[in-house]
Amino acid sequence: MRVLNALLPYLALVSRRDDRGSHTTEFIIGITIVVGIATVVGAVLMDTFTGAAESIDLGLAK
């Protein structure tokens, strides 16, 4: 019984450690995914806008 009483605080600590930080980890993963998607969309839009802007005829002769 003495061994069990000595192990109970340790087991309680170990069981609480498993879930610690999971919310932060999920938040960071979500932010990383959003930033990655925004980067890809930004690159596609920049290419599209640059192509459209270069095709505008300003009437200037080269």
**pLDDT tens column, 24-50:** 888 999 999 999 999 999 999 999 999
pLDDT given at position 8: 75
pLDDT given at position 14: 63
pLDDT over threshold 80, residue 52: yes
Rounded to 5°, angle at Cα 27 from 16 and 23: 15
State which H helix or E strand residue 2 sits in.
Answer: helix 2-17
pLDDT over threshold 70, residue 53: yes
pLDDT over threshold 80, residue 2: no
